[in-house]
């Protein structure tokens, strides 16, 4: 049986409002099967009933939110006093502990950002160029240290050879 759109919307509103009756009780009262009522609620979660546009269904768990959403909630909550905070938490379906954990995570994330990834502005290119130059100089320094160590090893070997066999120049004269 096809039910009018207004009737469906009224039942969905009734089933999703605070202090709502159980699906079984409502089904018995209005004579619509409980699975039909449940389907209407599911569909209302996926489609805005008035506009028929698809909307992204939010997860029921607060920790399933994106990092951007969590940060936004932390920022919004930081502007509220204690009375407003309770209402905000109820409205968003959160606990204060979750909000505090997200705030701590955000602060840790900010403090762990390396300098090179936070570069913006006109000096960013200069900083990148200087870092590249420093890298090249470091490589060159390591190469020269290796060459110097090799030369020192050759000198030590030459001195040992001279001590064992004597000076070749003295024998040839």
pLDDT in tens, 127-145: 888 888 999 999 999 999 9
For tokens 């609620």, what's the residue?
41
Number of helical H runs and strand E runs in the chain:
8, 0
**Burial of 99 by CB count in 10 Å (0-12 exposed, 13-18 middle, 19+ buried)?**
buried
Helix (H, G, I), strand (E, B) or coil at 125: helix
Share of the chain above pLDDT 70, in %: 80
Q: What is the 3-state secondary structure (H, E, C) of 40-80?
A: HHHHHHHECCCCCCECCCCCCCHHHCCHHHHHHHHHHHHCC
Mean local confidence (pLDDT), 164-170: 74
- Tell me the CB-side half-sphere exposure of residue 53, using CA atoms within 13 A: 3
For tokens 């204690």, what's the residue?
82
End-to-end, the C-alpha distance of the chain in Å comes to 122
Instruction: Read off the tokens for 170.
Output: 């003295």
Task: For residue range 68-82, list pLDDT tens digits in order.
Answer: 888 888 888 888 888
Give the residue from 138, 58, 56, 117 showing the smallest Cα distance to 92: 58
Mean local confidence (pLDDT), 28-49: 78
């Amino acid at each position: 049986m096809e039910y009018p759109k207004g009737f469906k919307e009224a039942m969905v509103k009734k089933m999703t409002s605070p202090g709502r009756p159980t699906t079984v009780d409502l089904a018995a009262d209005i004579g619509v099967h409980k699975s039909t009522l449940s389907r209407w609620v599911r569909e209302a979660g996926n489609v805005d009933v008035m506009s028929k546009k698809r909307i992204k269904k939010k997860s029921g768990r607060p920790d399933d939110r994106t990092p951007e959403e969590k940060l936004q909630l932390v920022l919004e909550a930081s502007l509220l006093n204690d009375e407003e905070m309770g209402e905000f938490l109820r409205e968003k379906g959160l606990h204060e502990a979750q909000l505090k954990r997200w705030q701590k995570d955000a602060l840790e994330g900010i403090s762990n950002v390396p300098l090179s990834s936070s570069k913006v502005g006109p000096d960013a290119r200069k900083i990148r160029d200087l870092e590249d130059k420093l890298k090249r100089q470091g490589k060159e320094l390591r190469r020269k240290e290796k060459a110097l160590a090799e030369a020192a090893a050759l000198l030590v070997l030459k001195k040992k050879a001279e001590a064992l066999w004597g000076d070749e120049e003295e024998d040839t004269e």
